[in-house]
Every structure is written in structure tokens, then in C-alpha cells.
């Protein structure tokens, strides 16, 4: 790939929804501040955290001390879920591109340099995502990146069976008319990506691991810990697409069957992971 174009700063508003995130937020923000190409602004949204003000205190501390980029703090009067919090920041964002980061995840230092640079060379793309790594603890390492990498276009039909676009990897155009669905607590991000693609907006995937998740993307912590609720949400999402005539009845049936197979696999993997953790703890207890 060609070298990324440079900006000073990147024309990006970074949006971080925060719900009782006082223990992990600074780690996430550090990965934004340490970008080789910093964003024009960082918007932190407290989603009515019920932690005695601890999350808001951390947000305000970050805002007061940060001099390397503009930090804005929003507080919501009632909990709206991550989608609602992102929508609130979307309405306040000033930059042509939006990048999403969860308060318990992080980015590679070159994430914005490479992704914003690629988007500058491909201005027709409205949504861009990339790969990720998983770390169990500690600060996100500056992991090595391949010198040669590729970008591929992703169609609506290609994305439907499996969400390749983890939220901390996504950058979207701010002027898109679509938003995260109000009231949805699960897979509101996946539904938004599909709606954008269904309307014919071009999307792309960069074959680079530029995000770091500190838990598996299903079955560990957060909303994704409840696998059956996640599965019900996926089936509901496909029904929504069918009702809105974005999906045929035959396609819905095929996708629902495949979704249930994925659910069974995830349950098996989560049980295996839990069994291995229990085995390690048992061994430590006998040492």
C-alpha cells in the first residue's frame, strides 16, 4: 500500500461512550493521545454512570490535564446504552470523520495515521474498518505491523452473515444520515453498518490489526457476556431488516439458521474457556 497522507491534526472526532468506566478510561484515552497522527477532537460521553461520579471525575481530570488535543465531555441525564451515547456525541462532533472507541479497549499508535491516510486516498468510501488483537490485561503494546497490507471492499451481502467490523475499528463519515437505533442494547453497531451498506454507501476493510480488545468479542464481560441475549438481538436484527425490505424471507431463514449455529459454537467455546480457567485456578490452589 502507499504511504498514508499526513494531516495536522487528523480530521476525525473520536467518540468514547463511558458507563462506569473509571477503571479503564484513562488507558483507552492514552492510546488516542499517543497516536502518531492525533485527532482534531476527543468526545467523552458519560452514559449516566451509577458509580458515585467516579467516571465523570476521570473524564473531567482528562479534560483538565490534556493539552495535546481538544477533549470535550458530555454527560447524559439517563442511561441510553452505548448507541445512544454515541449518537449524542455524533450530534456534537465537528469533524468530517468519526472514529469510535470503547472505554475498555485501545488502539495501535498508527491507527489514525494509516486509516485516515487511506480514506484520504479513497474519498468515496463512507465506512472503513480494520482488524484487531486481543490482550487479557495491561497496556496495549505497540505491536508490530506488516509492511505490506491490503484493503478490500465489503458489500452488504458479504457483511450480513458475520460482523467483521468491531466498533473500535470503525471510522464513518459524519454526514451520513444513519444513526445507532434508539433503544437497542445489543448489536446496535452491526445494524448500523448494515444499514449504511444497504443504502449503497461504499465500505472497506483494512487487513491490519489496529485495535486492541481487552476481552474476547463475545462471552467475556460487558453486554456480550450474555450470549443468549446477543443471539436474540441478532435474530431480531435480521427480522428488522426483513420488515424494512432489506432482506428477503428466504435470506432471513438462511441467516437465522447460520446465526443459531454460531450461537452453539460460541456457547461451546465459552464453556471450554471457563473450564480452562477453572483448571488453572485449581492447579494454582494445589501448588
**pLDDT for the residue 153:** 98
Average pLDDT, the chain: 89
> Maximum CA pair distance of the chain?
60
Give 183's pLDDT tier (boundaries 50, 70, 90): confident
- Kindly state the average pLDDT of the residues 227-236: 90
Q: How many CA atoms within 13 Å lie on the side-chain side of 237?
A: 27
Whole-number Å distance between alpha carbons of 140 and 29: 11
Q: What backbone phi and psi angles, to 5 degrees, belong to 75?
A: -125, 130
Select from 175, 170, 161 the least CA-distant residue to 204: 170
Is the model's pLDDT at 233 over the cut of 60?
A: yes
CA gyration radius, the chain: 19
SS3 73: strand
**pLDDT for the residue 280:** 46
Pick the CATH number of 10-214 from 3.30.420.40, 3.40.50.280, 2.160.20.60, 3.90.550.10: 3.90.550.10
**pLDDT for the residue 274:** 61
- Kindly state the average pLDDT of the residues 126-139: 88
**pLDDT for the residue 27:** 95
| Per-residue model confidence as pLDDT tens digits over 78-105 | 999 999 999 999 999 999 999 999 999 9
Select from 190, 192, 199, 202 the least CA-distant residue to 234: 190
* H-run or E-run covering 107: strand 105-107
| Per-residue model confidence as pLDDT tens digits over 7-66 | 679 999 999 999 999 999 999 999 999 999 999 999 999 999 999 999 999 999 999 999
229's CB contacts (< 8 A; 6+ apart) are 186, 223
Whole-number Å distance between alpha carbons of 49 and 20: 5
280's CB contacts (< 8 A; 6+ apart) are none
CA torsion 15→18→22→24, rounded to 10°?
-60
Peptide bond into 128 cis (omega under 30): no
Is the model's pLDDT at 219 over the cut of 50?
A: no
User: Which residue bears the cell 467475556?
Assistant: 220
Domain chopping of the chain, boundaries: 10-214, 218-287
Amino acid at each position: 500500500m502507499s504511504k498514508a497522507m499526513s494531516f495536522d491534526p487528523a480530521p476525525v472526532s473520536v467518540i468514547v461512550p463511558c458507563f462506569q468506566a473509571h477503571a479503564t478510561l484513562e488507558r483507552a484515552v492514552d492510546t488516542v493521545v499517543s497516536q502518531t497522527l492525533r485527532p482534531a477532537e476527543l468526545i467523552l460521553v458519560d452514559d449516566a454512570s451509577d458509580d458515585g461520579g467516579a467516571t465523570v471525575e476521570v473524564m473531567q481530570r482528562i479534560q483538565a490535564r490534556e493539552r495535546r488535543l481538544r477533549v470535550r465531555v458530555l454527560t447524559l441525564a439517563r442511561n441510553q446504552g452505548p448507541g445512544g451515547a454515541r449518537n449524542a456525541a455524533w450530534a456534537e462532533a465537528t469533524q468530517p470523520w468519526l472514529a469510535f472507541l470503547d472505554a475498555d479497549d485501545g488502539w495501535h499508535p498508527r491507527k489514525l495515521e494509516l486509516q485516515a491516510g487511506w480514506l484520504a486516498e479513497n474519498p468515496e468510501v463512507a465506512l472503513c474498518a480494520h482488524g484487531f488483537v486481543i490482550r487479557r490485561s495491561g497496556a496495549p503494546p505497540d505491536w508490530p505491523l506488516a509492511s505490506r497490507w491490503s484493503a478490500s471492499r465489503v458489500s452488504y451481502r458479504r457483511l450480513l452473515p458475520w460482523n467483521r467490523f468491531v466498533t473500535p475499528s470503525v471510522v464513518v463519515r459524519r454526514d451520513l444520515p444513519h444513526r445507532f437505533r434508539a433503544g437497542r442494547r445489543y448489536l446496535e453497531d452491526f445494524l448500523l453498518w448494515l444499514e449504511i451498506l444497504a443504502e449503497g454507501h461504499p465500505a472497506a476493510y483494512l487487513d491490519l490489526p489496529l485495535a486492541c480488545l481487552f476481552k474476547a468479542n463475545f462471552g467475556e464481560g460487558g453486554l456480550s457476556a450474555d450470549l443468549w441475549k446477543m443471539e436474540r438481538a441478532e435474530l431480531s436484527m435480521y427480522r428488522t431488516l426483513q420488515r424494512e425490505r432489506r432482506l428477503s424471507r428466504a435470506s432471513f431463514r438462511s441467516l437465522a439458521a447460520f446465526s443459531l449455529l454460531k450461537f452453539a459454537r460460541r456457547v461451546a467455546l465459552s464453556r471450554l474457556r471457563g473450564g480452562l480457567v477453572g483448571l488453572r485456578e485449581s492447579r494454582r490452589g494445589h501448588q
